[in-house]
Amino acid sequence: MQLRKNMQARITLCALFFAFAGFTSASAQSASKENFENAIVKEFCDSFESASPRLTKDNMTVEMGAMIVPLMSRYNNDVKSYWGIDMSSKEGIRSFGEKVGQLAALKCPAFLTFIKNNLQEIVSENGQGASKTYSGKILKIEGQPFVYLLVQNNQGRTDKLYWLEYFEGANRLTTQPASGLNKTVTIFYKEMEVYQAVEKEYKTIKVISKIEWKP
């Protein structure tokens, strides 16, 4: 039972972050559905605010499970009815976490602060294999709330590489961002799967882990 709870907590922690990375405002909905969503997000936020002072990178998975698992049990019927989610599978648990994350991103300031302050640990849990490289020139530095570098390679192709955590070589960009533009670099990155709420699908993005500046 404890193993299953830990698995559920890890899945929902990841899903909460994925939802945050691409949330959008909900459309008009029925009063009963709105009441259900208001209730579940309030309960989550109240639990989160109470737990936030003791949350650390070492215990966040267990603490998150303590918040999420009771909601899964208490609102199981409403989740099936209003969201069409069956939480008997990993996919269902993941979808539940995404929905709660979308609501919390809109209505729970403590949750937003936690995600922003712990991106490195969350990204590290979801890294997809060894680092890869991308060489080219940095054209732009933009994006809100998550910054990315727009880089053009030698074949003229451009790609977005996301700046979600500290990496070796970042100091030049933090102190003098303009000095990094049009400079030739080799970027080491890892791939991460995030949920895009607008498209309602998962997307793989490149997350920077190191930059080597060329003379």
Distance CA 183, CA 189 (A): 18
144: CB partners within 8 A, 6+ apart: none
Q: Which amino acid does the sequence have at 24?
A: T
pLDDT at position 62 over 90: no
pLDDT at position 196 over 60: yes
Sorted by where each starts, the structural domains of the chain and their CATH numbers stand as 2-120 (no CATH), 132-213 (2.40.50.140)
pLDDT at position 186 over 50: yes
Q: Give me the pLDDT at residue 92, please.
A: 84
Per-residue pLDDT band at 154 (split at 50, 70, 90)? confident
Per-residue pLDDT band at 5 (split at 50, 70, 90)? very low
Q: What is the mean pLDDT of residues 176-184?
A: 89
pLDDT at position 3 over 60: no
Does the bond joining 145 to the residue before it have cis omega, within 30 degrees of 0?
yes
Q: Please give the model's pTM, rounded to 2 decimal places.
A: 0.47
Q: Give me the pLDDT at residue 184, please.
A: 92
